[in-house]
Structure 1
Amino acid sequence: MSTIAVLTDADVVRIRRRSRVAIIGGQALAGVGMGATFSAGALLATQLSGSPAWSGTATTLSTLGAAAAAIPLARLAQRSGRSPALATGSSLAALGAVVAIVATAAGLFPLFLVAMGLLGVGTAVNLQSRFAATDLSDPAKRGRDLSIVVWSTTLGAVLGPNLIGPGDTLGRSLGLPALSGVLFFALAAQVVAIVVYLVVLRPDPLRTALRLGVERGVVEVETRAEDRGGVMVGILTLAFSHATMASVMAMTPVYLVDHGATLQIVGLTISLHVAGMFALSPLWGVLSDRFGRTPVIALGQGMLLASLFMTSFGAEDSGWVLAGLIFLGLGWSAATVAASGLVADSADPLRRTVVQGRADLSMSLAGGVGAASAGVVLAAIGYAGLSLVAMALVAAVVVALVVRVVRRNSAALESGQV
């Protein structure tokens, strides 16, 4: 009777390195496609609907698509592994690109909205990828590994929007409507990502982690109770920080243009904001590993608060708004990396993927609600008022952090640990 060889430390290192390369590669590829598509989404929605009033529906549907896919993809990962889950999500996003091409060619706006929902599944894949990077992580380096995957999104965020021009040229050469050619880049990127997830992401990191836990006695349900407080604070931080970022960021271009800013200023502001969101992710990962998740979450909330003060009290000065958007990106990045690490640390190892799926669902829904409601708030009380309202979200996270620290200190005193 044949037996399966026990995993050695060398095996784990080899699988970990291969998984990291595959996840980062797939994330970068998918990011390019998603960045290109969503940059043109609002323009295509306006073009197909015939009215700028429908321009925001592309982002709304993609957000809903990401939210709807979060739990199913997490359950698929729990049941079958990361490779099939990520590949399935990318396949749905690729299908969305095909449907979007058909919709733009036929001038069918409702079908285009369906396509944007499918393309939004690609965002769910991106979110799950950061957790996939932690499946085989050394707990002491979990934040760093997670943050490197977040950082890899920078490629898509920077390169993707610049593909609109070449995509338009490609589309016109094929006889398609303006801007639709960029969808071919999204399709190609997703197809290559599927191959990476199915071929390179082997052995599957999640299944390997579970096997390793059983072999070495790491995963024991009875002795590894879930830290529900950590999970709740992590999910709350992810959701509210994302809502804060999405609401202010979504309205900044509209506000700047209405107040006479040039398109160059608008473009520079958003570019620096995106750089803040991703470029320093590895730093936050290292800091959260060394000093703990809570201090880095608190640092992120501090930067978000500083950002909101700048965009509120400096709303009439484009320089202050620019600085505010940079800090908005930095605060989001620090909070997201550290809170994702907190969720991964706190969840029961055997339920971790499902908990992570709930975190992604909460994050996507909060961002969608924040972006959708921001326009109403902007019209009612202005850009400065929107920033003041967003401070309430930051305050809620800070209160949750304080409560967690107080409870943990009290529990430690009662047990005689301090």
Structure 2
Amino acid sequence: MSAATVAAPPDARERLQRRTIRVLLLSQVFAGAGLAAGVSVGALLAQDMLGSTGSSGLPTALFTLGSAVAAMLVGRASQRSGRRAGLAAGYAVGAVGGAGVVLAAAIDSVPLLFAALVLYGSGTATNLQARYAGGDLADRSGRARAMSTVLVATTLGAVVGPNLTDPTGALAEAIGVRALAGPFMLATVAYAAAGAAVAVLLRPDPLLTARRWAADDLAAAPAGTAPAASDATPRAVLFAGAAMVITQAVMVAIMTMTPVHMHDHGHGLGASGLVISIHIAAMYLPSPLSGHLVDRYGRRAVLSGGGAVLLAAGLVAGVAPADSTVLLAVGLALLGFGWSLGLAAGTAMVTDAAPLDRRAQIQGAVDVSVAVAGATGGLASGYVVASFGYTALSLTGGVLGLLLLPIVVRLGAEARR
């Protein structure tokens, strides 16, 4: 047997997995700061430039639409050339988008703002695609925890980012730009740093290495043996993707309009930034716990729990008095945790069902649907609030979270086939 076909020993695989996770964690710290800009002030910037609350959901719709296109392109690039190439390119485009938003605010150009927000969405998509890289070298028993761990590093940048709204706004004003464009200046630098970290340090590439190891394992296997068959089915990919679609739509819709709701009721940028920081922390900080629960108790059980938490989030945010920062923070924290549970379970199920030779492409396609759901939720949220109010939006979102339960039932039926 040639050296080329000798499977890598377990300790070498474990060392490379640990290194891969460390590099991804570093890149996610930067990416989290880039992500937070659009979440915390994107709607307010649009409201300021367009003069309409009903259009304030457009930024989230545009950058999540951009993230849909980017998810497909990053998935294809990763499939063809590996995770390093796909992730680095995605972050670079996000940085260009952030710079475009700053320029649009400086020259008061709404068309440029819209185009730049689409490009900015590439960073959001790439941020989520990075979680798949954490699972390429992990076995099924620890896959959800590995992928979820990658997301936890987003917390640091995402929590710090919104709380830099005031200082970055002051910097923007000092150079003659709207204060609300300040966080996008930070996003530009942050996404560029994330792309550089991946491009330089993510070597060897985890997806390409996983393919090589799979081929080596097959070549080293005794004659007449075959790899264990997966118990997942193509329909399982569809149901798992649908679960992530619902989770994303509910989360984005409520999250998008919370800063606008708070602004319209007298809260300052600092208060809304704090609430969004808490929300994003609740999305990403519990990620290792969410992944552990998925590996320990099963994909379907955790998905059911995610639906229940989303319902609770909608109820709390919906009944919270407009002047209560504390209750709005609690509602947004529950919203973030429900999203974390749904994403961890759905991501693990999709990865379980995706053959290694088509894994990145399938994952990218699923994330396209997730991003489109986010765009739809963000776009619709502004008009729902303008027509019916924030309470109606939050309560409706919570009820929609219960749609995860029939999906769990269908996934159980697929598993028994």
TM score, norm. by length of structure 1:
0.87
Residue number in structure 2 paired with 1:375: 382
- SS of the residue corresponding to residue 133 of structure 1 reads helix
Q: Displacement, 1:262? A: 7.2
Any idea what the Cα deviations from partners look like across 1:238-295, whole Å, max 9, x if unmatched? 1101111222233334445556667776555434333322221111111111111111
Residue number in structure 2 paired with 1:234: 240
Deviates more, 1:240-249 or 1:65-74: 240-249
**Amino acid paired to 2:82:** G
Larger RCO, structures 1/2 (Cα 8 Å, 6+ apart) = 2
TM-aligned CA distance change 1:179 to 1:99, over 3 Å: same
Residue number in structure 2 paired with 1:125: 126
Alignment of 1:84-95 (within 5 A): 84-95=85-96
Distance 1:56 1:195 in 2: 31
**Amino acid paired to 1:162:** N
Q: Displacement, 1:398? A: 0.8
Q: Displacement, 1:403? A: 2.3
Question: Is the contact made by 2:165 and 2:269 (CA closer than 8 Å) also made in structure 1?
Answer: no
> Aligned match of 1:272 in 271, 275, 278?
278
**Amino acid paired to 2:256:** A
Distance 1:94 1:354 in 2: 24
Q: Displacement, 1:141? A: 0.9
Distance 2:162 2:54 in 1: 22
Residue number in structure 2 paired with 1:30: 31
Alignment of 1:11-160 (within 5 A): 11-36=12-37, 38-49=39-50, 54-160=55-161
Question: Is the contact made by 1:269 and 1:325 (CA closer than 8 Å) also made in structure 2?
Answer: yes
Distance 2:309 2:414 in 1: 25
Distance 1:149 1:280 in 2: 11
Q: Displacement, 1:41? A: 3.2
Distance 1:52 1:302 in 2: 30
Residue number in structure 1 paired with 2:211: 210
Q: Displacement, 1:46? A: 4.6
Distance 1:174 1:215 in 2: 57
Q: Displacement, 1:383? A: 3.6
TM-aligned CA distance change 1:108 to 1:251, over 3 Å: closer
Deviates more, 1:348-357 or 1:386-395: 386-395
- SS of the residue corresponding to residue 402 of structure 2 reads helix
> Aligned match of 1:336 in 330, 343, 352?
343
Question: Is the contact made by 2:34 and 2:158 (CA closer than 8 Å) also made in structure 1?
Answer: no
> Aligned match of 1:401 in 385, 392, 408?
408
TM-aligned CA distance change 1:173 to 1:312, over 3 Å: closer
Sequence identity, in percent? 38
Question: Is the contact made by 2:166 and 2:270 (CA closer than 8 Å) also made in structure 1?
Answer: no
TM score, norm. by length of structure 2:
0.87
TM-aligned CA distance change 1:226 to 1:406, over 3 Å: closer
**Amino acid paired to 2:306:** G
Question: Is the contact made by 1:240 and 1:393 (CA closer than 8 Å) also made in structure 2?
Answer: yes
**Amino acid paired to 1:192:** A
Q: Displacement, 1:133? A: 0.7
Distance 2:250 2:54 in 1: 23
- SS of the residue corresponding to residue 153 of structure 2 reads helix
Distance 1:304 1:53 in 2: 24
Alignment of 1:143-182 (within 5 A): 143-174=144-175, 176=177, 178-182=179-183
Question: Is the contact made by 2:160 and 2:277 (CA closer than 8 Å) also made in structure 1?
Answer: no
Question: Is the contact made by 1:377 and 1:386 (CA closer than 8 Å) also made in structure 2?
Answer: yes
Residue number in structure 2 paired with 1:361: 368
Any idea what the Cα deviations from partners look like across 1:110-168, whole Å, max 9, x if unmatched? 12221221111001110100111101112211111111112111112211112333323
**Amino acid paired to 1:71:** M
Distance 1:306 1:49 in 2: 33
Q: Displacement, 1:188? A: 2.3
Question: Is the contact made by 1:315 and 1:383 (CA closer than 8 Å) also made in structure 2?
Answer: no
Q: Displacement, 1:56? A: 3.5
- SS of the residue corresponding to residue 393 of structure 2 reads helix
Kindly tell me the number of residue pairs found equivalent between the two proteins: 409
Question: Is the contact made by 1:315 and 1:384 (CA closer than 8 Å) also made in structure 2?
Answer: no
